[in-house]
Amino acid sequence: MNEGEIRLNQTTQEWVIYAPLRRFRPEDFQAQTNIEATVIDNNHNCPFCAVSEEIILEMHRKSSDSWQTRVVLNKYPALIPLGKPKRKTEGMYLTMPGYGSHEVIIEHPQHDRHLALMDLEEVETTIETYHQRYLALMADANNLLVIIFRNYGKKAGASLKHPHSQIIATSVVPQRRRWQEEAAQRYFDRLGECVYCDIIKHELETCSGRRIVGENETFIAFVPYAAEVPCEVWIIPKLHQADFGSITPKEKKDFASLLKDILSRMYYKLNNPDYNYVINTNARYKAEEPQVHWYCQILPRLTTTAGFELATGMSINPSLPEIDADFLNS
């Protein structure tokens, strides 16, 4: 079997991706952990320092001849754009091919250049690369959702140190995203407003900015009222925008500037923590809707998800958003 597979959990209606190209035997798991740990700090064998794959997109800084970002296919893709995303029954179960895309954005030629410490133009080029690949992947009508994310550090699931982000396009909409859409829909139907727009207004005005950690003309950054983890931060466009694909040139600059600012504060104040960030945007066909709103969610990995969280989806946060905001602002 060369293609991947996506199976439905009938008890939760959640899809699970099986990634055969990443597959190793169960008995390899312990060893694998050690291999990954070795690779992380080693730049001699780094596959992003010397790219052997076909380069999908390469971007340059204005001020330089050298490339700054490169996009390549993930060598161990979770999903690949082969065949058609057709469902098939297996007895009482449902399965489908692992249709989708999985790309890596190499953010810099330099192996140990932290995104948190890049200059503004470098971060802008990274965001520009995100945007171009987002639009390109959304041009395939089979892709229903495009998720851009960054895993930084071992606790965040990164297996390579070289600065990079990833983009996964899926041909199914995750159940969790549907739940979020439904919550937003109910809010809109009741109150006639986008819940995210209301949160932005509430955070800026009613709460006198006590959870705000950054602001410029088109974006705010804040610790959400119900943050899942200590020092979680959302960066969100002030004007209603459902789809990351709709971001304007001015907004890209402002987003890059705030992202750089927050990451560098985390870097210094939290001693270079592992983190994930993700651009939570919306599924195709929701892109014009008045009730959903994209945002970038930064999740430092300072605590460990344990049995209670896995079972219930409820987080236990040992800090408090207001304390975290004060800390990030201090």
Look-up of token digits 């740990």: 37
Write down the least CB distance from residue 276 to a second copy, Å.
Answer: 4
Measured from the CB atom, the residue of 67 and 187 that comes closer to a second copy is 187
Handedness of CA 37, 39, 42, 43 (dihedral sign): negative
Measured from the CB atom, the residue of 79 and 258 that comes closer to a second copy is 79
The answer for residues whose C-beta is within 8 angstroms of residue 289's C-beta and 6 or more apart is 242, 282
Reduced to 3 states, what is the DSSP secondary structure of residue 303? coil
Write down the least CB distance from residue 62 to a second copy, Å.
Answer: 29
Q: How far is CA 48 from the centre of its chain?
A: 20
Write down the least CB distance from residue 238 to a second copy, Å.
Answer: 16
Write down the least CB distance from residue 7 to a second copy, Å.
Answer: 4
CA angle 223, 199, 311 (to 5 degrees): 60
Measured from the CB atom, the residue of 33 and 248 that comes closer to a second copy is 33
Measured from the CB atom, the residue of 253 and 292 that comes closer to a second copy is 292
Write down the least CB distance from residue 23 to a second copy, Å.
Answer: 5
Measured from the CB atom, the residue of 61 and 238 that comes closer to a second copy is 238
CA–CA dist 241, 250 (Å, integer) = 14
**What is the amino acid identity at position 214?**
G
CA–CA dist 241, 291 (Å, integer) = 9
Asked if residue 324 lies in contact with residue 223, where contact means CB atoms within 8 angstroms, the answer is yes
